[in-house]
Structure 1
Amino acid sequence: MALEMRILKRDEWDVWFDHLELAFGGVAEVRESRELFRSLTEPDRSLGVWDGGDCVGSASAFSFRLSVPGGALVPAAGVTMVGVAPTHRRRGVLTSLMRRQLDDVRAGGEPLAVLTASDPAIYGRFGYGTAAYAMSVDIDTTRVRLSVPPGTDGVRLRLVDPEKALADCERVYAALVAGRPGMLARRPGWERQAVLDPEAQRDGASPLKCVVAEDADGEVVGYARYRVRPDWEQTGSDGKVQVGEVDALDPAAYAALWRYLFEIDLTWHVRAFMRPVDDPLFHLVSDVRRVRVRQRDALHVRLVDLPAALEARAYGAPLDVVLEVEDALCPWNAGRWRLTAGAGGSAQCTRTEDPADLELSVRELGSAYLGGITLTSLAAAGRVRELRPGALREASRAFTGDVAPWLPHGF
């Protein structure tokens, strides 16, 4: 029987999501998570591949706006819920889904597609480049202290119900988005993801807690969400603080929140996940060697409308370069493009017949797009070729940003 690909019907969601759970190992999502995914799914952006009455393939997208260098919020398709049934692998199902999805993204006028990869080896062949990394940290707070900036002692901290503090925390988050590439302007409903707290997923830790930082006027200027996992050894307590988020609008509030997390009674470790690779925390700790760090890929970026994407971001130095771009999956991007930009100003990207200065694929452009991965490092790996002497250095300087791109949460 021939396979059929079609847009998801609302009454097919449960069958479609059951397939996705099977594709990811067969462990059912807890009820709270499943209901949140149901509410956030955009059916008209969701594809299913059907073999008779069985769903055997899926892909969806969320309608996001992504912060890029310069602070613009660019429409981006948040690719998600991609899976193929184990019975239907190696039959072109995934490739068909990716091709159809990119066509739909282009038709919808979104210059970018972005994703977090369950297996990062998969998506490079579809033109996605790793554009942002994230860190996890494990800190022994018996051996590490914080050196805090002036004003920290004047920050008021208050424990609040995570649900009741949602609006204040969301306002702080929204104020930070334009300042760091890779962050998502959250649509209504997405704030619920951060406060999901099913008991089945706590693994012995406490219910979710939230502490807010307030300025002298009582305005919330920062927050941290965390859990405490009590533990005991023969020598005494050995509790862990599991940090979900720490966001703040100024250095004093940021330091006050971390100091609070470091000093929770009966705990001796602070563990945090999904932190930016240039986290200011590294400049607050007394001994960086006692901070165990692990880095992993976080956000993968794909240019769908190449000229629109390159014109949407700002550049850190004047630039005039001709790019020879390879893009087999989106042939409208392939060929030669002249990119010109003033330092921090507007850019233009147009077709040209002039000789190329740099040769690369759309995957490398995706990696460099948010300013955290340099073109020079990609060239050192053999993935960018310099055709005009000096062009690589000029382009790499212009593409590189002041702060590391960061995706604070998955989707």
Structure 2
Amino acid sequence: MFEIQSRPRAGGCYAWRMTTQVRTLRAAEWDGWYATLERAFGGAAESPEERGLYRDLTEVDRSFGVWDGSEVVGTAGAFTFWMAVPGGALLPAAGVTMVSVQSTHRRRGLLTEMMRHQLTDVRRRAEPLAVLTASEPVIYGRFGYGVATRQAQLRVETKRVALTLPDGTDDVRLRIVPPAEAVAACERVYARLVAGRPGMLARQPGWERLPVLDPPGDRAGTGELLCVLAEVAGEVRGYARYAVKAEWGDGGPDGTVQLRDIEALDPVVRAALWRYLLSVDLTSTLVSHNRPVDEPLLHMVSDVRRCGVRLREGLFLRPVEVGAALAGRTYAAPVDVVLDVRDAFCPWNEGRWRLSGDAKGASCERTTDRPDLALSVRELGAAYLGDTRLSALAAAGRVRELRPGALAEASEAFGSDVAPWLPHGF
């Protein structure tokens, strides 16, 4: 627990001295604390089902608030995650969440102090990474977070595309089951996929409820959530969860399949699921808000222009402990470089680090050797999962090459053959 004393700034931005207190949340305070968060995000109360889920998922000892007297004016928290990194290892990662500052208390340093408090706590917990999704991407770069994954948004004109299907697609059995009854089978499929794609989160107990959350009041005109399982020889090897919005135009049925998620263990099962989704009766469009940028569907369709692909940022990532973070993943090519890292927000990361590694493992230790590349921790976060190349950041002036050839070496090494991706928010 500590106090923040805000003083009037030059120019008279505010005229009083304010003392606020930052401390860990108490379980009995959750309702008021969460109401402050809801107000900061527009004031609309979430459904009882969603509110109840996040109350159950909240880790009170990792949640804190800013109090101005008896009033909660700021919130922040973290979830305890394990995240896949290049090479297949699962590293501890703090899932930063529920961050808000009440509009009456903006521009007084509260967010900065909450972020500093949180990252110090993450370090204390020996978590080398902190990750988040941002409602406003402009905010978090100054705290060292870089855009580490992107996601593809699709709007497929299903009547105007054909699919190229692999042999065996017709042998996959599909059946619709209530989503709640299929949770265990779907989670087994999901768990088998996590290590193979950087950025995926190993779902901890309780998080299996998120993909099947379906409050009737939040459906916005769609039907109930549906789940289709894909089986081969009696084994569930894939699934898709979706809802249908029924609409009719002058030419007849014009409904939309709103896809929540689709996962499969092999290309044949994936093809069977996509064929099903693109041929749901009385629909002409499929919408998905979050697919990986290397989504296989884009290589199966006859006309990718009819898929309405748009890209946006996904996961933001920051190394909290540079040495442990860089040593925790493997590298696509042999690398031996000295990185001169800037990190004014977490000064324990400042300085030179020698990264040596390959596809089998890596080490990252302090050194006094001459640096080969100069960059900030934000660039390391952006490149860490392999989505953004260091060479692209250098072209933007955000990475400096100090030894000829070092940039190409490191840029190739940090790459990932599979596009990193965050399947769901938190």
TM-score, length of structure 1 as denominator length: 0.99
Q: CA deviation at 1:78?
A: 0.1
Q: 2:66 aligns with which of 25, 46, 49?
A: 49
CA distance in 1, matches of 2:301, 2:295: 11
Post-superposition CA distance 1:30-50 (Å, at most 9, x none): 110000000000000001000
Aligned to 2:38: 21
Letter in 2 for 1:333: N
Pairing 1:63–2:73 present: no
Aligned to 1:123: 140
Aligned to 1:397: 412
Aligned to 1:192: 209
Q: 2:349 aligns with which of 325, 329, 333?
A: 333
CA distance in 1, matches of 2:339, 2:180: 49
SS at 1:165 equivalent: helix
Q: CA deviation at 1:200?
A: 1.2
Write the mapping of 1:5-404 to structure 2, written as runs, cut at 5 A.
Answer: 5-216=22-233, 218-342=234-358, 344-404=359-419
Aligned to 1:3: 20
Post-superposition CA distance 1:280-316 (Å, at most 9, x none): 1111111111110111111000100110000000001
Letter in 1 for 2:378: R
Q: CA deviation at 1:112?
A: 0.3
CA distance in 1, matches of 2:123, 2:26: 22
For this pair of structures, how many residues does the alignment match?
409
SS at 1:407 equivalent: coil
CA distance in 1, matches of 2:211, 2:64: 26
Q: CA deviation at 1:199?
A: 1.1
Q: CA deviation at 1:219?
A: 0.7
CA distance in 2, matches of 1:402, 1:228: 34
CA distance in 1, matches of 2:169, 2:239: 14
Q: CA deviation at 1:272?
A: 1.0
> In terms of mean alpha carbon deviation, does 134-143 or 361-370 score higher?
134-143
Q: CA deviation at 1:114?
A: 0.2
CA distance in 2, matches of 1:51, 1:290: 53
CA distance in 2, matches of 1:71, 1:2: 46
SS at 1:98 equivalent: helix
SS at 1:186 equivalent: coil
Give unmatched runs, 5+ long, in structure 1.
none
Post-superposition CA distance 1:40-99 (Å, at most 9, x none): 000000010001111000100000000000000000000000000000001110000000
CA distance in 2, matches of 1:131, 1:112: 12
Q: CA deviation at 1:150?
A: 1.0
Q: CA deviation at 1:372?
A: 1.0
Aligned-pair identity in percent equals: 62
SS at 1:163 equivalent: helix
SS at 2:160 equivalent: coil
SS at 2:174 equivalent: strand
CA distance in 2, matches of 1:4, 1:219: 54
SS at 2:49 equivalent: helix
Give unmatched runs, 5+ long, in structure 2.
1-17
Give the aligned CA root-mean-square deviation in angstroms: 0.6
SS at 2:355 equivalent: strand
Q: Which runs of 4+ in 1 moved over 4 A?
A: none
Q: CA deviation at 1:346?
A: 1.4
Q: CA deviation at 1:151?
A: 1.1
Letter in 1 for 2:179: P
Q: CA deviation at 1:201?
A: 1.0
TM-score, length of structure 2 as denominator length: 0.95
SS at 1:117 equivalent: coil
Post-superposition CA distance 1:221-264 (Å, at most 9, x none): 00000000000012111000000001000100001001000111
